[in-house]
């Protein structure tokens, strides 16, 4: 990975320094309506380069991660006569970094981008790994590129204006990173109260980003080891879609946390993953990630059908899961039958109490 990560207590000063080093012809800042209100003023107050930059504001929310929004950024860049040596600074959650990263990667065949992630999810996940993109034809991230920003400036000072659910959602991905990393990191995360201590989590965030980078390093295009990062997503995506159908949308990281419990149950059955770790992880998820809907065995056919849509599957008969032999020992491409998943869902429901 060529991208720099700066973990910062003083992001405006670090951003100013990074921009000075890049010596751009001009600077554009892309923010959504919320980050333009909550975060951009914190940066302009202490960074003359951001104060002088052109601010491009887009609508908030994943529904606005569209080609139309990308066009509005390209148009604004053209109007300010941005050239190949201009820099685009994306200030926002994963929706803004994905969208602005895509606009930067494609404007004039690519200009440099700097990310200032403002949600926990964007800090630990979307700002690393180079995936940019927009939704298209109702499909998530259908059009995009693999292009890393030159730098990401990561600071927990922005998290104080996030809702507790947004903090917990990012924390779901951090739990996944800890499962992929080591037992000590997992222990630290399970002993922390994320929603109450969001502004104090920079060291944990740094640790989490490093885990993601370890899996992306040398496999930007997800040919092999990066696929371990799909842990928790096979069942997680199905939970997310089921919730959406019932108009009770759940944040992505909540679905991942619950999906990880299902993956750990399967890991226990197939690879002997330790049951004490499975139980303490499930207990943490049950306590911190309540779901607004119930799940009974009558829902299994629908859940299984949703899991069959997962693009990782190569067969109609089995599901492709990332599982763990133990914490820090992932195995990608584990093929699991429908009966195995039904059995795992029964155990998951017992553990979580739904
Ligand atoms: N590129 C990747 O590898 C990757 C990885 C994970 C997720 N994603 C993408 O990230 C997006 C989800 O990211 P997200 O959860 O950050 O969503 P988001 O960017 O939509 O942010 C969630 C909400 O929080 C608001 N917000 C952001 N920062 C704030 C702050 N500091 N204070 C107050 N409000 C703030 C936003 O305006 C928005 O309303 C999805 O589009 C997903 O596809 C990308």
Same domain, residue pair 28 and 151: yes
Tokens for 134, please give them: 């927009």
Instruction: Tell me, using a 6 A CB cutoff, whether residue 216 lines ligand 1.
Output: no
Residues 93-150: pLDDT tens digits? 999 999 999 999 999 999 999 999 999 999 999 999 999 999 999 888 999 999 999 9
Pocket of ligand 1 contains residue 173 by CB under 6 Å: no
56 & 185 share domain: no
Model confidence at 244: pLDDT above 90: no
pLDDT confidence of residue 350: 97
Residues 249, 311, single domain; the answer is yes
Residues 315, 185 share a domain: yes
User: How far is residue 352 CA from its own chain's centroid?
Assistant: 24
Residue-wise pLDDT for 160-191, tens only, equals 999 999 999 999 999 999 999 999 999 999 99
Domain that residue 348 falls in: 169-197+218-352
| CATH number assigned to the domain comprising residue 276 | 1.20.1090.10
- Specify if 35 maps to a domain: yes
- Once rounded to an integer, what is the mean pLDDT over residues 12-27? 98
Please give the distance, rounded to the nearest whole angstrom, from the Cα atom of residue 126 to the centre of ligand 1.
8
Q: Is residue 209 part of a domain?
A: no
Q: What's phi and psi for 264, nearest 5 deg?
A: -70, -35
| pLDDT over 80 (residue 248) | no
Task: Kindly tell me if the per-residue pLDDT of 317 is higher than 90.
Answer: no
Query: What's the pLDDT band for 313 if we cut at 50, 70, 90?
Result: low
Verify that 236 and 333 share a domain, yes or no.
Answer: yes
**Residue 211 resides in a domain:** no
* Residue 276 within any structural domain of the chain: yes
Task: Report pLDDT for 314.
Answer: 64
Q: Does the Cβ of 266 fall within 6 Å of ligand 1?
A: no
What is the count of structural domains for the chain?
2
One domain for residues 173 and 154? no
Could you give the CA distance from residue 283 to residue 294 in angstroms, rounded to a whole number? 17
Cβ–Cβ under 8 Å, residues 343 and 266: no
Per-residue pLDDT at 284 exceeds 80: yes
Is 206 among the domain residues? no
pLDDT of residue 279: 98
Beta carbons of 189 and 178 less than 8 angstroms apart: yes
pLDDT at 221 (0 to 100): 93
Instruction: Give the distance (Å) from ligand 1 centre to CA of residue 45.
Output: 23
Residues 193 and 155 in one domain: no
- The set of residues, in sequence order, having a beta carbon less than 8 Å from that of 28 and lying 6+ positions away, is 53, 54, 55, 56, 73, 76, 77, 80, 82, 86, 87, 88, 89
pLDDT at 278 over 70: yes
Domain contains 212: no
Closest ligand 1 atom to Cα of 159: 31
pLDDT confidence band for 312 (50 / 70 / 90): low
Query: What pLDDT does residue 249 have?
Result: 83
The answer to the question of residue 103 being in a domain is: yes
Write out the H or E segment, with its range, that includes residue 54: strand 54-58
Which domain CATH number covers 117?
3.40.50.1970
């Amino acid at each position: 990975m060529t991208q720099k990560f700066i973990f910062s207590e003083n992001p405006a000063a670090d951003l100013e320094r990074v921009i000075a080093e890049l010596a751009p012809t001009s600077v554009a800042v892309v923010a959504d309506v919320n980050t333009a209100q909550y975060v951009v003023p914190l940066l302009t107050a202490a960074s003359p380069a951001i104060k002088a930059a052109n601010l491009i504001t887009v609508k908030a929310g994943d529904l606005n991660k569209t080609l139309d929004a990308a066009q509005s950024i390209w148009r604004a860049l053209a109007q300010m006569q941005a050239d190949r040596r201009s820099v685009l600074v994306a200030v926002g959650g994963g929706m803004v970094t994905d969208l602005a990263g895509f606009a930067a990667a494609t404007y004039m065949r690519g200009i440099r981008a700097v990310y200032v992630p403002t949600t926990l999810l964007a800090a630990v996940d979307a700002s690393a790994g180079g995936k940019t993109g927009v939704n298209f034809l109702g499909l998530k991230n259908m059009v995009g590129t693999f292009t890393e920003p030159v730098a990401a400036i990561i600071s927990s000072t922005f998290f104080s204006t996030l809702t507790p659910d947004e903090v917990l959602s990012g924390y779901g991905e951090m739990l996944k990173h800890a499962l992929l990393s080591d037992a000590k990191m997992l222990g630290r995360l399970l002993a922390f109260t994320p929603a109450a201590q969001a502004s104090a989590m920079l060291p944990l965030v740094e640790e989490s980003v490093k885990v993601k980078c370890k899996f992306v390093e040398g496999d930007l295009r997800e040919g092999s080891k990066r696929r371990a990062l799909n842990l928790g997503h096979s069942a997680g995506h199905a939970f997310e879609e089921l919730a959406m159908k019932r108009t009770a949308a759940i944040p992505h990281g909540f679905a991942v946390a619950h999906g990880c419990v299902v993956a750990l149950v399967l890991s226990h059955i197939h690879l002997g993953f330790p049951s004490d770790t499975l139980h303490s992880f499930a207990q943490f998820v049950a306590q911190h990630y309540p779901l607004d809907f119930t799940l009974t065995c009558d829902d299994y056919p629908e859940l299984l059908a949703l899991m069959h849509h997962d693009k990782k599957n190569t067969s109609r008969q089995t599901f492709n899961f990332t599982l763990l032999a133990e914490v820090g020992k992932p195995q990608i491409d584990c093929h699991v039958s429908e009966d195995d998943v039904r059995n795992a869902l029964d155990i998951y429901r017992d553990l979580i109490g739904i």
